[in-house]
Amino acid sequence: MDDNDAWHEVEGFHLSLEERWTEFDNRGRRFFDLLDSNELDEAIRSDEPLGEKVNAFCLLSSMQEAKDMAYWVQINRTSDYAALLLAEFLLNAPPDHGRPRFRAARALELFEREIRDAALSAAGDAVSAAKEAGDPAGVPVNSDLIEAARKGTVEEYTRSTPYVKSEESRGLLLTEFRQFPRHGKVRLI
């Protein structure tokens, strides 16, 4: 058990989601400080009012865990902060976080157009700066994913890119994408 999760074992102890977000943010936004599946369940059931940053944190955690992704996308799809946090995640996720990075790109597709475009533009600027500085770490995957999210073609890109580790992983990603709401789907009741 990670030190970050030890508090689960202390009866009656509660660490608020706001405190978890602050800890994640202050500790350098390390991926292992994101909420786990059980904590995401707690967040949905919580009576604690969640602000924009905590909702974005929950969205990011859901991308990492592939848990309740549609729920958190729906809550965050009009949040500039959440879109930027997803774009940051897409850029900074280590190479072994391929699937969460693809999930983040797919989630960005579902944000309001202006919000998505602003976040992807900021991410594109970061990729361009990395290319100009000669920093190739992750740039090909990131730039392609950013462009696919901008065009709304992450699913198609996922089907054909060599950057997915295996065909099994590709199949899992495509199955996970089905958990997201579809573009243009209208529900009246």
Reported as a single tens digit per residue, the pLDDT across 61-116 is 999 999 999 999 999 999 999 999 999 988 887 666 789 999 999 999 999 999 99
51's tokens:
């602000």
More confident residue, 12 or 154: 154
Q: Is the pTM of this model over 0.85?
A: no
Q: What is the pLDDT of residue 136?
A: 66
Q: Residue 184: what pLDDT?
A: 54
